Amino acid sequence: MASQTNDPGLFSVPEDYEELRAAVRHLAEDKIAPHAAEVDATASFPQESYQALIDGQFHAPHIPAEYGGVGADALASCIVIEEIARACTSSSLIPAVNKLATLPLMLGASEELKHKYLTPVANGDALFSYALSEREAGSDTASMKTRAVPDGDDWVLTGTKAWISNAGESEYYTVMAVTDPDGRRGANVSAFVVEKTDEGVSFSEKERKLGIKGSPTREVILDHVRIPGDRMIGAPGEGLKIALRTLDHSRVAIGAQALGIAQGALDVATAYVKERRQFGKAIAEFQGLQFMLADMAMELAAARALVYVAAGKSDRNEADLGFFGAAAKCKAADVAMQVTTDAVQLLGGAGYTQDFPVERMMRDAKITQIYEGTNQIQRIVMARQLLR
């Protein structure tokens, strides 16, 4: 998983990446897939998956070697997330959320802060969560109400962050808070690292969700949480700039997650139609179903090409990453929703039951159209870049 030097291209992936895919797929099928249904049914954190990912060094592969990680580039990270999501979407949020939450540090933190917080994540000793959204500040992040007030050398944070993935399980949180209430909107927010054990940090009950039930989603409640000043990421007022740069990169990983969900559903549906018999023959012989499978595979292949190209742009930090990151996430998420819905249809009544994983995959796919910016927001991002 060395650093990528060449564009992955539209048509092929280098051999070492396919070797990585085979290794992650083997681990996912052996150690993660057997627990996926139970994790969903009980809405329990996938602890067995987490340990298996740590053992395989797939829990946070993006962290550079100087902080104890394996230094996977964006394409390698995407393949890891994609293959885990093929087996269990909730489990794929372990590396995906670790990447989302630590990217602000990688982009803007001091070396001291990077070493202090990236190292335990790389070692598998801690999870990291990203706390940007609030109940009334979702797509409109600049309207957040959480405040950070200076007090001597410290900052005191007060507010509530909502929809936080893996909240309660994570030891560390990247928190965005307004540091200059009278400042220019969008330039008055700063980023901080908050620890789970800081006095005044608490969590709501888990949200009752449609899918990704094994990844706990909670509010993070900050009640006059005092933290040292050296836990600010970047300079005062740079929080939203860092947050938006983070999302340009992390949205590619959500695209990869959507690919995995869609691939898992397509695999199940393909196997089923070859076995299921009606009117004296396998239903795979009916042209109407063949056309459905062909469309599912075609759309998935197109989405995968876009995600992998976006991953290359992420590694090179190219100027059009904003467009390609948004496009990759948007296209792959829409494809995942369509492919999983069609997979349920192909299985008929069986697809609507929990005897097969496609109903879970369909429920899980929906969130990829919503988090890290709804697909409507992605289209705004793309349009703005086109019209600059």
Q: Which one from 219, 299, 359, 372 is the annotated catalytic residue?
A: 372
71 — alpha (psi -120 to 50), left (phi > 0) or beta?
A: left
Active site residue 238: no
Q: Dig out the tokens for 153 from the structure.
A: 């050398």
Strand-pairing partners, residue 164, are: 218
Please list the active-site residues: 372
